[in-house]
Structure 1
Amino acid sequence: MRELLSHGIRYVRHVWTSFWFLPLVMSLAGGLAGYLSISVDETGWARQLADKKLVLAITVDGARSVISTVAGGIITMASLVFSLTFVALTLMSQQLGPRLIQIFVRDRFAQFTFGSFTGSFLFCLFVLAVTGTGKKGEFVPVFSTLLVIFVAIASFCMMILYINHVANSIQADTLIARLGRQLSAAIDELFVEARTGQGSKDEDENASDELKKVRQELQKSNLEIEAVTSGYVAAIDTEALVDILCKHDLRAATLVRPGHFVTRGLSLLKIDNKLTDKDFGAFCKEVQEAFNIESTRSLSEAGEFEVNALVEVALRALSPGINDSYTANACIDQLVSAISSLAEAPLKPRLVADADGRPRLLLYSQGFSHFINTSFHPIRHAARDNPLVLSRLLNACRVLLSLRDISDQDTKAVNQHLIALEETIESNVSTGEDRDHLLERLGDLEDAKNVK
């Protein structure tokens, strides 16, 4: 039952974030609004106001002309917006990378705009279908026709707002800032327990001792559960895994995390005790269902998607065909801003206990070193002969080393990048003045580090 509920929640989340769901709902709402407005007109209330000249008097021919004109105009605006959107997406994918199309597809404002056009068009069709026909002679939907006029004005304003929204959204700085905010939010969610779940010093020491004990016991085991399909790990149902382990009285450690690509036969989980052949088959099936493996990367992969997207934008900006160093520098700034939070609140491996407080599951974790290596190595290789970007990487290392709560392990990771930067500068920067300036900055950074 839990597995069915988990799959149902994932499916609902997928539908909710898809591009077609909101426009479909708004289209149905537009048709329903047309039916309700016609019902209001059938009461004769709006017609009486028109006879008293309190509202605009409308004839049958005038109503048909207005409604048909508005319906045609709305569908024309919708086609224009679709065309502009595809042109913008094409340019964005070429300049910044196709990975960013996922972000635009999930843009609620874009979905709302398309939904408003389709809903308005269906509203006009419903009203147009009954205009001029009625049980008591000619039927003029005065109230509905006035609503159609307001819908036309609103649709025109929506088109202008949408064009402005698209023009701002496809700008490199706007997209990079948005990716940076999403990465920071993903890291905040991923490391919330490391920041807020710390207890007293004695409690932390006891938890650390228990963690070492469980890790040592699991290292002695060679019993592993393998993946039955290839793809990206989108999510791991931790609660389901703990329940499964509790049912079989086992302890285990995950060997992958969301964002990893697994191939068929790759180990997902290591357990500490052996089961009978009958129980082991059922156990493997339950464990494999707790790992949600998808064919493509998704935005739900805590931080991995945003890091890869920012790195991809930087690499494309540094390609010979584009050669935009400032865009690459903006990506580095956003990466450093997010990664610095990991140094201030380092991620510790999580040991999840069952309802009775007994440790059951050791979760695989990747922290500061993983993110800085994933971010800096590709950019440094692409910018090996670009003094402007190499200077920004040096500044990024300076910012990270100046953090007050950075650990010795994280400092070592930054120092390794400084060594790699020094080798890159000496080997690839051909201009003597630029090379000397960068090496001088590197020397100042080394001196400041030694003083600290």
Structure 2
Amino acid sequence: MINRWILKIRSKIWFIPVLYGLIAFILSMLIISIDTFLSEEVQIYIPKVLLTDFDLAQTILSSLAAAIITMMTISFSTMMVVLSTYSSQYSPRTLQDFLNKKITLRVLGVFMGTFIYLIISLLFLKENIENSFVLSALIGVIISIFAVGFFIFFIHHVATFMQVSKLVNDVSNESINLIKELDNRVINDDRIRYEPVYMTENPALSIQVVASDTGYIQLVDTSALIRISKELDISIEMEKKIGEFVVRGNHVLTIYANKPLEDTSRIVEQVTIGSYRSMFQDVEFGIQKIVDIALKALSPGINDPNTAILCIKRLSVILSSISMSQMHTTYYHDEDDILRLTMKYSDFDELLYSSYYQIIYYGDGDQSILTAILESLCLLVESNIKIKRKVWRFANYLIDGFNKKELEFLDKKYINLKIDKLARLTEEDSRKLILK
């Protein structure tokens, strides 16, 4: 339940700005109350030089409000430029990476909160406190200085985040952290196995449960499903993987039970389906983002093979983490070793193919792309020798489908060096792949 709420909050860009605005509204009402009812009691603790009279406070607050509106306009314009660049040069799927960054949302929140404070303070700065000293202008100046600091930091953030290397590294690190999180959960929980353990007789009924909506599977609340399974004495098997697209009415999970169930809505509610993919539990979505950036870089309009090579290297890091993780079909048991939930994940062969097949197609004939992929395959084998046969089979697919007609002698020589290196690591015969 908590994870589902976190996912919903992360998908709402307005949440943090509205929260900051609410805090600013409460602060403005508090300061106005102090100025109106507790002015003399509070002023004895504040130096007179920091307090202002009614006319000066009105001038300061109105000037600051106009300045904050200007900074907000510049910030929103900058954001639109960034989003346009991300969509046209990187990938439309990377827009959320910028919008969901804490600094982006906090900058919007600080500007909105500052403006709300200044406007509310002006609204309640009435004639009945004229000629008395007020505190609202002092607080307005302080939070405006704070907003200026955030504005400067936001400009630095945008300049840094516009770099494609920063974006690729962030997506890669987020994917690796998610792999580690899933892996630690498996390692630290004795109830999670890779082979099912049955302590009860085989179930008599198999109940197919369909999707309640159309979209991508964003989240599966495993804890809730295990709790419900134990309560109803059933076993649940997910038929779809996280990140898969389903249509309303599609078969998404199967319930194994010994008696009919009156209502399965409580079970299907634990599978969150949305209109877009999310990296909350979806490792493959991170791979797709990096692949998209590589494909954009290889397009004739951009023609930036070095960015594609960077993406290939980061893909090898993600695949290396996956190869050493425990990400495959996972069986969740309860305290009595009764199977309660089965989750499915893509195997390494499928992920290896989905990571490179589009890059291979659109980079066909480009020697730098071929050598970069071969080098990344070498890195995979060096990190985990257990996958050497899978990697070698993929190398055969890679070389066989590559367009070799345009390659010159030196191109083939450099490619053959990479093939020899991969063959030594995988203990295979390089003569099968050597280019003549």
TM-score (normalised: structure 2)? 0.86
Q: Which residue of 1 aligns with 2:127?
A: 133
- 1:288 Cα deviation after fit: 2.8
Bigger proportion of residues as helix: 1
Unaligned ranges ≥5, structure 2: 430-436
Once the two structures are superposed, the pairs formed by residues 251-330 of structure 1 within 5 Å of their partners are 251-272=235-256, 279-280=260-261, 282=262, 284-330=264-310
Q: 1:360 to 1:390 in 2, by over 3 A?
A: same
Q: Distance in 2 between matches of 1:31 and 1:251?
A: 50
Once the two structures are superposed, the pairs formed by residues 100-115 of structure 1 within 5 Å of their partners are 100-115=94-109
- Whether 1:392 and 2:372 are equivalent positions in the alignment is yes
Q: Given residue 148 of structure 2, which amino acid in structure 1 is its aligned partner?
A: F
Q: Given residue 387 of structure 1, which amino acid in structure 2 is its aligned partner?
A: Q
Q: Name the % identity.
A: 24
- 1:108 Cα deviation after fit: 1.2
- 1:319 Cα deviation after fit: 0.9
- Whether 1:144 and 2:121 are equivalent positions in the alignment is no
- Preserved contact between residue 221 and residue 270 of structure 1 (Cα < 8 Å): no
- Preserved contact between residue 237 and residue 341 of structure 2 (Cα < 8 Å): yes
Unaligned ranges ≥5, structure 1: 1-5
Q: Deviations over 1:20-73 (max 9, x none)?
A: 1111111121122222223333423576689xx851564433222222111111
Report the aligned-residue RMSD: 3.1
Once the two structures are superposed, the pairs formed by residues 18-417 of structure 1 within 5 Å of their partners are 18-42=12-36, 43-44=39-40, 54-56=48-50, 58-131=52-125, 133-134=127-128, 138-141=131-134, 143-196=135-188, 210=196, 224-246=208-230, 249-272=233-256, 279-280=260-261, 282=262, 284-403=264-383, 405-407=384-386, 410-417=387-394
- 1:133 Cα deviation after fit: 1.4
Q: Given residue 422 of structure 2, which amino acid in structure 1 is its aligned partner?
A: L
Q: Which residue of 2 aligns with 1:3?
A: none
- 1:249 Cα deviation after fit: 4.3
Q: Given residue 177 of structure 1, which amino acid in structure 2 is its aligned partner?
A: N
Q: Which residue of 2 aligns with 1:449?
A: 426
Bigger shift: 316-325 or 415-424? 415-424
Q: Distance in 1 between matches of 2:51 and 2:255?
A: 79
Q: Given residue 151 of structure 2, which amino acid in structure 1 is its aligned partner?
A: M
- Preserved contact between residue 342 and residue 367 of structure 1 (Cα < 8 Å): no
- 1:198 Cα deviation after fit: 7.8
- 1:376 Cα deviation after fit: 1.5
Q: Deviations over 1:395-447 (max 9, x none)?
A: 111111122x442xx32321122112212445464334213321342134213
Q: Given residue 108 of structure 1, which amino acid in structure 2 is its aligned partner?
A: K
Q: Which residue of 1 aligns with 2:432?
A: none
Q: Which of 399, 419, 431 is the equivalent residue of 2:396? A: 419
- Preserved contact between residue 388 and residue 426 of structure 2 (Cα < 8 Å): no
Q: Distance in 2 between matches of 1:133 and 1:419?
A: 83
Bigger shift: 36-45 or 143-152? 36-45
Q: 1:373 to 1:37 in 2, by over 3 A?
A: same
- Preserved contact between residue 211 and residue 249 of structure 2 (Cα < 8 Å): yes
Q: 1:108 to 1:17 in 2, by over 3 A?
A: farther
Q: Distance in 1 between matches of 2:243 and 2:54?
A: 61
Q: 1:345 to 1:154 in 2, by over 3 A?
A: closer
Q: Distance in 2 between matches of 1:284 and 1:49?
A: 63
Q: Distance in 2 between matches of 1:209 and 1:305?
A: 27
Q: 1:320 to 1:360 in 2, by over 3 A?
A: same
- Preserved contact between residue 294 and residue 307 of structure 2 (Cα < 8 Å): yes
TM-score (normalised: structure 1)? 0.83
Q: Distance in 1 between matches of 2:190 and 2:3?
A: 30
